[in-house]
Chains A and B, each alone.
Chain A
Amino acid sequence: DAGITQSPRHKVTETGTPVTLRCHQTENHRYMYWYRQDPGHGLRLIHYSYGVKDTDKGEVSDGYSVSRSKTEDFLLTLESATSSQTSVYFCAISEGGEKLFFGSGTQLSVL
């Protein structure tokens, strides 16, 4: 299995609070991604990174920001959490457009 660790695995927070999810990889892959998974929508891309300090928006980026200061870490921040951001968040890595390796996911509940 690819070395991808997501933390925390579960998080319950209140509306309006900031939340940061962390993705750590040991594979030295260039590309890192944050997806959210919701019933009926599959996985939707939030943000991705193609190198240190190089990031770009996905289709559902509003309300989210990311940072990548090291190859191995990709942080996703919800600046002011809302109930619509309750979801399962997956980090994925790739060395190039051949396939993604996924982490185990973070279940986030915003009350």
Chain B
Amino acid sequence: AQSVTQLDSQVPVFEEAPVELRCNYSSSVSVYLFWYVQYPNQGLQLLLKYLSGSTLVKGINGFEAEFNKSQTSFHLRKPSVHISDTAEYFCAVTLTYGQNFVFGPGTRLSVLP
């Protein structure tokens, strides 16, 4: 079974600084990878996804992620964060079309003024 690790439970960063949120997964076969964001008291929204093709994926709100198959990683990056990026971020993986999406434990990003 696949699993997802997010090594950092909390990441504080100053406004306009760059940020990287780490995600590693375990799987012996090809996967689809996702990053979701959850703002306070809301459901999750898709930030970006990797299905195939280019390993650098661009998403909404200036975020991007790079798929690294050899390191089984899918780290999320943003070159300059805003206060409004304060939220919890979840990495997720799925193997099979339409079936189980497995989520990591989440990383809480706090952007400080």
- Name the interface size band of chain A: 20 to 34
List residues of chain B with CB within 8 A of the CB of A44: 103
Of listed B9, B96, B101, residue having the most chain A CB within 10 A: B101
Is A100 located at the chain interface by the 8 A CB criterion?
Answer: yes
* Candidates B4, B43, B46, B99; contact of A50 at CB < 8 Å: B99
Q: What 14 additional pairs, Cβ within 8 angstroms, besides A45-B102, A92-B101, A99-B46?
A: A30-B98, A41-B105, A42-B4, A42-B90, A42-B106, A90-B44, A94-B101, A97-B32, A99-B34, A99-B49, A100-B46, A100-B101, A104-B42, A105-B43
* Candidates B45, B49, B106; contact of A102 at CB < 8 Å: B45
Is B51 located at the chain interface by the 8 A CB criterion?
Answer: yes
Q: List 12 A-B contacts (CB under 8 A).
A: A42-B4, A42-B103, A43-B90, A45-B101, A50-B98, A90-B43, A92-B44, A99-B46, A100-B46, A100-B92, A102-B44, A104-B42
B42 CB, min distance to chain A CBs, angstroms: 7
**B: number of interface residues (CB 8 Å):** 27
B49 to chain A: closest residue by CB: A99
| Complex-state Cα separation, A97 to B98, whole angstroms | 4
A102 to chain B: closest residue by CB: B43
List residues of chain A with CB within 8 A of the CB of B94: 97
Judging by beta carbons under 8 Å apart, are B98 and A94 in contact?
yes
| Complex-state Cα separation, A99 to B9, whole angstroms | 24
Interface of A toward B, CB cutoff 8 Å: 30-31, 33, 35, 40-45, 48, 50, 58, 90, 92, 94-100, 102-105
A45 to chain B: closest residue by CB: B100
List residues of chain A with CB within 8 A of the CB of B32: 97-98
A99 CB, min distance to chain B CBs, angstroms: 5
Judging by beta carbons under 8 Å apart, are A103 and B105 in contact?
no
